Amino acid sequence: MKTKNILPALLALFLFSTQQVSAQFNPINTGKLQIYASVTENTLAQLKKAEVTLYEDVERTCNWQGVERMKTNAMGEFSFKLDYNSKYLIEIAKPGYTTKSITFDTNVFGSTINSQDFYFAVDMALATDGKEYQQPVANVFYMVEKKKFDYELNYAKAEAGK
């Protein structure tokens, strides 16, 4: 008789323990990273109708797939909602200007996080030197110590087509 009573109790304890451990290692991130950007021309005027394309690295092999495309509004602004634990590339282009791209690594390294906002500005320059940026001009990433997203800049240019 005692064995019949112990078995359900042990099973319940095991299931409860498994759920506790699972919750510790698989945080639920219910929100998204909301990014807001303004695009300007030489920091002076808003650059409206610039083409903005969002790509996602679905397989994490830098094989970027187009997810969404839009144009900046009359104030030169755009925004996207990005899933956590993914990699994205945003490309901003307009005829007569040097195209710029920015990567977003939304990996939060197992942290539980709700929605966060990230604001940034992109200053576009006229394409007068025949050079293009070799790689993204900025990389945005999550800083565990600060519990927020941060960025680093990279402005290396190369001759177009090289």
Extents of the domains making up the chain:
33-159
Q: Which residue ranges in the chain fall short of pLDDT 70?
A: 1-29, 157-162
Report pLDDT for 157. Answer: 65
User: Among residues 110, 85, 105, 109, which one has the least CA distance to residue 26?
Assistant: 110
Does the pTM of the predicted model rise above 0.85? no
Report pLDDT for 60. Answer: 84
| Domain covering 33-159, topology | Immunoglobulin-like (2.60.40)
Report pLDDT for 23. Answer: 37
Report pLDDT for 6. Answer: 59
Report pLDDT for 11. Answer: 42
Contact indicator for 148, 140 with CB cutoff of 8 Å: no
Report pLDDT for 162. Answer: 45
Q: How far apart are CA 67 and CA 91, in angstroms?
A: 12
Residue 95 tokens, joined: 């005829």
Q: How far apart are CA 97 and CA 124, in angstroms?
A: 6
* 3-state percent helix, strand, coil for the chain, nearest multiple of 5: 15, 45, 40
Report pLDDT for 134. Answer: 83
